[in-house]
Amino acid sequence: MWEYTDKVKDHFINPRNVGEIENPDGVGEVGSMACGDALKLTFKLDENKKIKEAKFQTFGCASAIASSSALTEMLIGKTLEEAQKITNDDIADYLGGLPKEKMHCSVLGRDALEKAIYCYRGDVEKEIDGNIVCECFGVTDKEIERAVRENRLKTIEEVTNYVKAGGGCENCHENIQKIIDDVYHTTADSAPVKKELTNIQKIRLIEETLEREIKPALQKDGGNIELIDVDGNRVQVKLIGTCATCKASQLTLKNYVEIRLQEMVSPDLIVEEVK
Amino acid sequence: MDIIYMDNNATTKVAPEVLESMLPYLREWYGNASSMHSFGGSVGREIAAAREKVATLINADPGEIIFTSCGTESDSTAINAAIRSNPGKKHIITTRVEHPAIKNLYEYLAKNGYRVTWVPVDKEGVLDLDYLKGNISEDTAIVSVMWANNESGVVFPIDEIARTLRDQGIVFHSDAVQAVGKIPVDVKKTGLDMMSISGHKIHAPKGIGVLYVKKGTKFSPFMIGGHQERNRRGGTENVASIIGLGRASELAISHLEEIDTRVRALRDRLETGLLQKIPNALLNGKKDSRLPNTTNISFEYVEGEAILLMMDQLGICASSGSACTSGSLEPSHVLRAMGVPFTAAHGSIRFSLSTYNTVKEVDFVIENLPPIIERLRKMSPFWKEGACRLQ
């Protein structure tokens, strides 16, 4: 059982500002169901450009809900300039601290806030910044580097606690270590070793996995997926139905289809969409 | 607040009869069974009596029972014995859904010169027996298959695997920690070589386990030390716990029928009640192939840890296969092996009952869990989509 502070428990049992504001000034959505937590933050400004109202909807564990609730409380009454200065550490501090394995919940809050402010300012929503390092949780080198710098992280385990990177198949551990080393001006390089299936085995296994579980899962949401080709480790697919028009289709591809194929077939696979 | 304990696959209450049987060996009878004086010697006789009771529970001979400290030690001992007795063989067969006591040891061996075949399960958690059979080779040293899965409750075809492996010179070991005491287990009828049991899953205390080793099986000890357990496990006997486990074994035999009838009916009532009252709830595990006490249900669009903590407020104890409860970031390897989508695995809850549970408790959970799920779903940004899907 996690050692949660009374404040975390309070914000979990009695969450403040649950819901979604109609016609909000800013919206920030981060995370996904596959990742285990997701947060949708909405806010509205008053005539003095201060945050009048902030609401959240969260899918996740107790600390994710508590972090979201705390964030909305912290936001109300602040100007956007003030709000922008809120860090993930501030959210954790507000709650009297979070277990170290749960720090990613506070990062989720910070990320949603950042997105909501971008949204308000009409900035083009930030595309995935940098290169994906952790394929399991879709975390980029830029995000890891930022977490390392801002929170003075020293180990892979700490990086996993803050941004989830490295918490899945662990194939990216050496790359995460390299980022940590680079931040602290030391370098160490070596490449991970991987093993291979034959081409025919790989294609069969991909088809089987798609048929058995990925297609049924997508069909439940009115979508579907079609295997177009397998070129080395590049799995080319076409999204059909609601998936083809869904804004979250890239998340579905990376966080669900790709993770599942990597798990069932080979960790080297990359899923690409063919329009 | 009363505790409603429905997490018996994690651990069980020490039965009052078990505790009573143990106390004299913590108070008065503290002698060492290996001593020459009769004060210690009488303890040795009681250990022998307990050994017989444990043997009766699984239809073994007392000489085939080795007392260990826990299920994990039993598993490690069995696997090490099989490997050391067959130094030329470098292949191991096991399943993708084993307990960490087996899984992590085999993962370690896979990095140290062994080839490990991980037998898959289907979406209902049923073992792919043909896959297992198809991978047996002359190089296979040991096959380890759990008797019943701790998370889904699905029972594996141990009799058939034992038949397949007979006379092939391959050690067959089963982690029967979840099966013993819940369903009949007869080692003579089944004909397997080694089997692990854990005391605290059958109302004995934590810190006591058993490894069954069939007569004639090649063996080498894991704990090297004194002559205890006929040189197969060094270390002064955990006397009180051994006595307790003997008593627990007697109780387990007498409770088997009740578990198969009354506890099964309670489990079914709980399962049916929850599935009827809560939309978007999915059963994990093949309905008619499970332990009678276990049900595992995924509640879509909500996260397991949040459900557990809300239930905790009401004194209800259960488990989840969600990532957040494990300290890792991925949901349970069992649910993933079953192909349960991440989205449903994160919201999975396992209830595991015992003879101590009552209809009143079951009805309390059926009454109180739906509002918890509803409350968390209202908080979830995904739930609207789910509600739409219902129309």
Residue A209: closest CA among chain B residues belongs to which residue?
B339
CATH number of B16-252: 3.40.640.10
- Out of B313, B329, B339, name the one closest to residue A167 (CB): B329
Percent of chain A with pLDDT strictly greater than 70: 92
Quick one: pLDDT band at residue A138, thresholds 50, 70, 90? confident
Residue written as token pair 């009143």: B360
Checking B31-37 for CB contacts under 8 A at 24+ apart, the result is B32/B236, B33/B228, B33/B236, B33/B237, B33/B239, B34/B226, B34/B227, B34/B228, B34/B236
Residue A39 has pLDDT above 90, yes or no: yes
Residue A30: closest CA among chain B residues belongs to which residue?
B381
Pair of tokens at residue B154: 């699905």
Residues B335, B332: Cα–Cα separation, whole Å: 5
CB contact under 8 A, B385 and A34: no
Residue B360 has pLDDT above 90, yes or no: yes
Pick from B61, B125, B55: nearest CA to B336: B125
User: Average pLDDT in the A127-150 region?
Assistant: 82
Residue A194 has pLDDT above 90, yes or no: no
Contacts of A259 in chain B (CB under 8 A): 342
Residue B384 has pLDDT above 90, yes or no: no
pLDDT of residue A201: 83
CB contact under 8 A, B322 and A15: no
Rounded to the nearest 5 degrees, what angle is found at the Cα of A80, between the Cα atoms of A79 and A84? 120
Where in chain B do CATH 3.40.640.10 domains reside? 16-252
Pick the CATH number of B4-10+256-390 from 3.90.1150.10, 3.40.50.720, 3.30.70.1140, 3.40.50.1970: 3.90.1150.10
Residue B120: closest CA among chain A residues belongs to which residue?
A264
Higher pLDDT: A200 or B248? It is B248
Pick from A194, A188, A142: nearest CA to A165: A142
Quick one: pLDDT band at residue B127, thresholds 50, 70, 90? very high
Residues B242, A29: Cα–Cα separation, whole Å: 56
Average pLDDT across chain A, whole number? 85
Contacts of B379 in chain A (CB under 8 A): 15, 18, 57-59, 65
Pick from A258, A231, A199, A267: nearest CA to A32: A258
Interface list for chain A against chain B, based on CB atoms closer than 8 Å = 2, 12-13, 15, 18, 20, 29, 33-40, 57-62, 64-65, 101-102, 136-137, 160, 164, 167-168, 212-213, 217, 220-221, 256, 259, 263
Quick one: pLDDT band at residue A191, thresholds 50, 70, 90? very low
Residue A105 has pLDDT above 90, yes or no: no
Distance from CA of A142 to the nearest CA of B (A): 21
Where in chain A do CATH 3.30.300.130 domains reside? 199-273
Distance from CA of B219 to the nearest CA of A (A): 35
Residues B58, B179: Cα–Cα separation, whole Å: 11
Pick the CATH number of A132-183 from 3.40.50.1370, 1.10.10.1100, 1.10.220.10, 3.40.50.2300: 1.10.10.1100
Contacts of B125 in chain A (CB under 8 A): none
CB contact under 8 A, A259 and B379: no
CB B182 within 8 A of CB B292: yes
Distance from CA of B171 to the nearest CA of A (A): 28
CB contact under 8 A, A221 and B389: yes
Q: What is the pLDDT of residues A7-28, one digit of tens each?
A: 999 999 999 999 999 999 999 9
Higher pLDDT: B28 or B331? It is B28
Residue B325 has pLDDT above 70, yes or no: no
Q: What is the pLDDT of residues B170-206, one digit of tens each?
A: 999 999 999 999 999 999 999 999 999 999 999 999 9
The residue type of A266 is: S
Most confident of B34-38, B264-268, B374-378: B264-268
Distance from CA of B368 to the nearest CA of A (A): 15
B388 is catalytic: no
Residue B23 has pLDDT above 60, yes or no: yes
CB B377 within 8 A of CB B302: yes
Residue B385: closest CA among chain A residues belongs to which residue?
A221
- Out of B304, B329, B380, name the one closest to residue A168 (CB): B329
- Out of B123, B301, B336, name the one closest to residue A263 (CB): B336
CB contact under 8 A, B306 and A61: yes
Q: Domain A199-273, CATH 3.30.2350.10 — does that match?
A: no
Q: For testing the chain B interface, which of A35, A59, A195 should be mutated: the one with the most B CBs within 10 Å?
A: A59
Q: For testing the chain B interface, which of A61, A107, A108 should be mutated: the one with the most B CBs within 10 Å?
A: A61
- Classify domain A6-121 at the CATH topology level: Sufe protein. Chain: A (3.90.1010)
Write the Ramachandran bin of B280: left for phi over 0, alpha for psi from -120 to 50, otherwise beta: left
Q: What is the pLDDT of residues B311-321, one digit of tens each?
A: 999 999 999 98
pLDDT of residue B363: 98
Residues B73, A101: Cα–Cα separation, whole Å: 29
- Count of A–B CB contacts within 8 Å? 89
Interface list for chain B against chain A, based on CB atoms closer than 8 Å = 123, 301-306, 309-310, 313, 322-325, 327-331, 336, 339, 341-343, 346, 378-382, 385, 389
pLDDT of residue B389: 37
- Out of A20, A62, A168, name the one closest to residue B330 (CB): A168
Listed in sequence order, the residues at least 6 apart from B171 whose beta carbon sits closer than 8 Å to its beta carbon are B78, B81, B82, B85, B86, B141, B142, B143, B193, B194, B217, B218
pLDDT of residue B324: 66
CB contact under 8 A, B306 and A60: yes
Residue written as token pair 């459900």: B307
CB contact under 8 A, A15 and B328: no
